Structure 1
Amino acid sequence: MKITQVETLHADGGYRTCSYIKISTDEGLVGWAEFYDGFSGATLAPLVLAFGKLAIGMDPRQVGRLSESLLATTRVAAGGISHQAVAAIENACLDIAAKALGVPVYQLFGGPFRDRVPVYWTHCGSYRVRHAALYEKLGYEPVRTLDDFTRLGREAVAQGFMGVKTNPVFFDKETPYMFNGGFRIAPGFLDRSISDAHLQAIVDQLAALREGIGPHTGLMLDVSFSQRPEGYLRLARRLEPLNLYWLELDIRDPEALAMIRSRTRTPIASLEGLHGLHEYRPYLAGRSVDTAIIDPMWNGVWQSVRIATLADAFETHIAPHNPVGELGNLMSLHFCAAVPNVRIMELRPDEAPWTRGFLTHTPVLEAGHMLVPDRPGWGADVNEEALRAHPVRAA
């Protein structure tokens, strides 16, 4: 079997563009994967197609060899969006390899370890602030006060979610606004420091969410790359009374991350921005996190399983970074089914409703868990007609 064509397809996803890779073969099998185009501000699709040209003629069933071969061409500029482009190809090849055998992707790794995965509501409330006009147009309740976070917390519990994660939202201006995670150009974003007033505002926001979810549902906060070690540590210590499931933060310094973890009772989750075993190794060896976050879309599920195995050797839980749509959910599900040390899975429940029609089969959510499908490949194909019905809108 050989790869004959690599294509990218896109559709309107509301506040974002939904992007997919389609790999065709000379035996008629087609593989699909979702990728996040433009997350870093740079367009990924041209790189996917460029590496796709190198993959033409390769056997998609030899996933590891194909992935490592393409990554080897990036050694002089490894990681980043080059790694993400190769990951998209790797993931579509996993779909083909599993379909060729008539099995789900997790069977390629000896799974499943589980047939359902606990999920948490990510960006709870914060994205309704960041994309307020869109969410109100879609009919979602707006977030304008701290009371709205309490209301959303109750809604999350009613829907059965195992946890909720939010980002800092501030109410000290005319309209609420979401904090800058340290990687999007805006006034002051290079400072990476936080005021005492904003520290207290974060505590108040999480207290409002805790009031809504109660004492037994997981509470998480994601502050991305927004601070230096001093700011992260001040925040972690201020949040200790709220008994967080984890504080999620990112910093390109394994020693600094280990220092933060050692000086607070708040559990630390991190590493979603890393690519490949070599980048993860010093963080895991340095015992820098309680939960290692791995993005199966940016690393590739085959590579992600290897990283999770390394984390398991250091007795460390993992959780997938899952920032996109329904096919991304399926890819994360198979990753979670394939490894023993998964803790919980990220999920965006308030995506644009029409995106559920982009797949032939959508994942099933039941009592706070997403069910792992047993159909071949990822368990669904992309509905190309549905994509065409929702063309990408002009920026």
Structure 2
Amino acid sequence: MKITGIETFLVAPRWLFLKISTDEGLVGWGEPVVEGRAETVRAAVHELSELVLGQDPLRIEDHWQVLRRSGFYRGGPVLSSALSGYDQALWDIAGKARNCPVHELLGGPVRDRVRVYSWVGGDRPDGIFEAVTRQVEAGYTAVKMNVAGPLTAIDTPAQANAALDRARQAREALGPHGDLAIDFHGRTSPAMARRLVRMLEEVQPMFVEEPVLPELQGNALASVVQASTVPVAVGERLYSRWEVKPALDAGVAVLQPDPSHAGGISELRRIGALAEIYGASIAPHCPLGPIALAASLQIAFATPNFLIQEQSLRLHYNTGGELLDYLLDTTPFDFVDGHARRPLGPGLGIEIDETAVRRAAETGHSWRNPVWRHEDGSLAEW
């Protein structure tokens, strides 16, 4: 079997899909994208195509090594995301060639269902109690919210107390048996993060996410970990096992590698194994489309130290397109009691509606993340 074609599709709301065709009629789908830089990743995907066209798609590890290491300059969000899409699509082909789901090729399932969580509150969180109540009524047992909007390096007591109040509302709606994750989104300085994580201890978050910027790993991240008993999670902006190791050394409890950014299924498996050495869990980052989520779930079912899965159904960024819009059969993402069932279909376990994809790609998108500024006019972290 040989790879004969590489196609990419920009589809709403902010995604990029990759289709790999073969001379035996099998196709694989991947999702290589950096949110806000989809066109840039698309260019990288097509630049890399010369390395795989005409090759055997089943040599997945060899392709991973060549796509990552054959260039003198390597890694980073763009190249790692392009690699991720290829890796997902090649695993999809491998499962279809053997008529089994990818998790069977990864050693078989270690669990019967996978817990998922839902987002509430938006970028500037509000209406938290009502939003969480709706998710609880929909069957979810865990939610995630942003801690706040823009924050200064050392913000006011009013801002800190407002963040705590929103977390209290979420805890009230969830009750003692639900789980609350709180995303700092890298908006907080180490000093402000240390203050907030101690304040948030009373609501017992499942974890706080990205309390400091990823470039502030090491002592800054370790100081936040040591400031309270709240588990700390990082990883959505780390792109390889080499980049997550300092976070593990700093003592984080949860790694959140993204299957569309951190090297695909192959590298997330390795990151999961590395985390296991440290007694840490993985909770793959995935506010993206159906292909990325399908890849995440395949990993989740085969990874012993998996914790919980992010997913983007009705996410506040999903305007003009939704997770289910590009599937022929949406049942793989029918969540029951806040859990995904084990996918049994071959490959990634989903059927892409290629007609819908091509129709959406005629319009495409040019999504960019917002640019925030503080009251004094200086740039704020989004």
TM-score higher than 0.5: yes
Q: Tell me the amino acid that sits aligned with residue 358 of structure 1.
A: Y
Farther-moved stretch of structure 1 (375-384 vs 301-310): 375-384
Which residue identity does 1:375 align to in structure 2? G
Q: 2:261 is paired with a residue of what secondary structure?
A: helix
Preserved contact between residue 114 and residue 340 of structure 2 (Cα < 8 Å):
yes
- d(CA) in 2 for partners of 1:235 and 1:76? 38
**1:20-49 Cα distance to aligned partner (Å, 9 max, x none):** 100011221100012334435873111111
**Superposition map of 1:168-183 within 5 A:** 168-169=147-148, 179-180=149-150
1:254 to 1:39, Cα distance in 2 relative to 1, 3 A: farther
Structure 1 residue 376 corresponds to structure 2 residue 346: yes
Alignment match, 2:326: 358
Aligned partner of 1:11 in structure 2 is 11
Rounded to whole Å, the distance in 2 between the matches of 1:77 and 1:71 is 6
Distance in 2 between residues matched to 1:343 and 1:261, nearest whole Å: 19
Alignment of 1:77-92 (within 5 A): 77-92=74-89
Structure-2 change in CA distance of 1:107 and 1:34 (3 Å): same
Which residue of 63, 70, 91 corresponds with 1:66?
A: 63
Long gaps (5+) in structure 2: 368-382
TM-score normalised to structure 2 length? 0.87
Which of 224, 233, 236 is matched with 2:197 structurally? 236
Partners of 1:203 and 1:3 lie apart in 2 by: 53
Q: Which residue of 2 aligns with 1:288?
A: 251
Counterpart of 1:134 in structure 2 is none
- The residue identity in structure 2 corresponding to 1:364 is D
Is the CA contact (8 Å cut-off) linking 2:32 and 2:83 kept in structure 1?
Answer: no
What is the aligned partner in structure 2 of residue 248 from structure 1? 209
- Give 1:196 deviation, angstroms: 2.5
- Is the counterpart of residue 324 in structure 1 residue 288 in structure 2? yes
What is the one-letter code of the residue matched to 2:242?
A: H
Q: Counterpart of 1:196?
A: 157
Unaligned runs of 5+ in 1: 130-142, 170-178, 181-188
- Measured against aligned partners, the alpha-carbon deviations of 1:369-391 in whole angstroms (never above 9, x if no partner) come to 01121110011232121124433
Q: What is the CA-CA distance between 1:149 and the residue it aligns to? A: 1.3
Once the 2 structures are TM-superposed, how far is the Cα of residue 357 of structure 1 from its aligned partner?
3.0
Matched positions, count: 355
CA distance in 2, matches of 1:354, 1:288: 36
Supply the distance in 1 between the matched residues of 2:326 and 2:38 (Cα, whole angstroms).
24
1:343 matched to 2:322? no
TM-aligned CA distance change 1:72 to 1:102, over 3 Å: same
* Counterpart code for 2:4: T
Residue of structure 1 in register with 2:380 after alignment: none
Structure 1 residue 344: Cα displacement: 0.6
Q: Distance in 2 between matches of 1:39 and 1:12?
A: 12
Q: What amino acid is the match of 2:182? A: L
1:305 aligns with 2:249: no
SS in 1 for 2:104: helix
1:168 counterpart letter in structure 2: V
User: Which residue identity lines up with residue 364 of structure 2 in the other structure?
Assistant: V
| CA distance in 1: counterparts of 2:290 and 2:18, whole angstroms | 14
Over 3 Å counting, the alpha-carbon distance change for 1:276 and 1:74 in structure 2 is: farther
Deviation at 1:74, TM superposition (A): 4.0
Query: Could you tell which deviates more after superposition, 69-78 or 328-337?
Result: 69-78
User: How far apart, in 2, do the equivalents of 1:269 and 1:394 lie?
Assistant: 30
Identity, % of aligned positions = 31
Deviation at 1:228, TM superposition (A): 2.3
Work out which of the residue numbers 349, 356, 371 in structure 2 matches 1:386: 356
> Does 2:183 align with 1:222?
yes
1:87-137 CA-partner distances (Å, limit 9, x unpaired): 111111110111111110111210211231001112x1215x6xxxxxxxx
Structure 1 residue corresponding to 2:298, chosen from 334, 345, 358: 334
**Within the alignment, does 1:126 sit opposite 2:139 as a pair?**
no
TM-score by length of 1: 0.84
Q: Partner of 1:43: helix, strand, or coil? A: helix
What is the Cα deviation at residue 394 of structure 1? 6.4
Task: Give the corresponding residue for 2:144.
Answer: 165
